[in-house]
Amino acid sequence: MTLNKQTIEVNTNIWSVPQWVKVAITFFTFSIGGILILALLSAQEALLGLSTELIVVISLGLASLLILVTVSFWSFPNSAFTLFLYWLIRFLREQICLLALLGIVYLLTVRVALFSFRGGIPLINLILLFLMGLFVQPVGLDHFPFSWMKRFFKLL
């Protein structure tokens, strides 16, 4: 009987989103908001080769999307949207690590001051992405939180 209870508990807790993932996504949201404010207040013509207007548009779009994701992760942790995003994070963990490492290498090659607002915040984001990809549990195409996701990926 005890073994059966543990199996049920493990199956119900396998899709609960850890607090550190929620905190990392919240930090991403605030940092994109900071980059948006920096781009709006910047008197420069370009930042890392991109025009200020393009940075504002990209930051506004990312901030809107990340606010939606952050609210979903904190307020609706068992919703289909949240569990799908968490499954994607777990499924794409190697690609997330690779993307973070490439971003760190890019920051180092463009010689951004890493102890400034412009270089430090992206560096912290990339380190958090790397750690998220490194420490999140892997999942394959045989484990889905919902049956409709399994049918959808079989169709693909």
Whether residue 141 lies inside any domain: the answer is: yes
pLDDT for the residue numbered 70: 93
Domain annotation covers residue 74: yes
Residue 12 belongs to some domain of the structure: yes
**Does some domain include residue 56?**
yes
User: For residue 37, how many C-alpha atoms fall within 13 Å in the half-sphere facing its CB?
Assistant: 7
Among 44, 128, 142, CA closest to 91: 142
Domain presence at residue 38: yes
Report how far residue 145's alpha carbon sits from residue 80's, in angstroms, rounded to the nearest whole number: 8
pTM of the model: 0.75
Helix residue spans in 42-79 (DSSP H): 52-75
Q: What is the DSSP string of 64-128?
A: HHHHHHHHHHHH-TTSHHHHHHHHHHHHTHHHHHHHHHHHHHHHHHTT--TTSHHHHHHHHHHHH
Say if 107 falls within a structural domain.
no
Return the pLDDT at 7.
39
CB 150 within 8 A of CB 91: no
Distance (Å, rounded) from C-alpha 101 to C-alpha 114? Answer: 15
Nearest to 75 by CA among 26, 118, 109, 121: 26
**Does residue 103 form part of some domain?**
no
CA end-to-end distance (rounded Å), the chain: 40
Please give the residue range of the domain that contains residue 38.
2-91+136-155
| Tally of domains in the chain | 1
- What is the pLDDT tens value at each position of the chain, 156 positions in all? 454 444 333 344 577 888 999 999 999 888 888 877 776 776 665 656 777 778 778 878 888 998 999 999 999 988 889 988 998 999 999 999 999 999 999 888 888 787 776 778 888 999 999 999 999 988 877 788 878 888 887 776
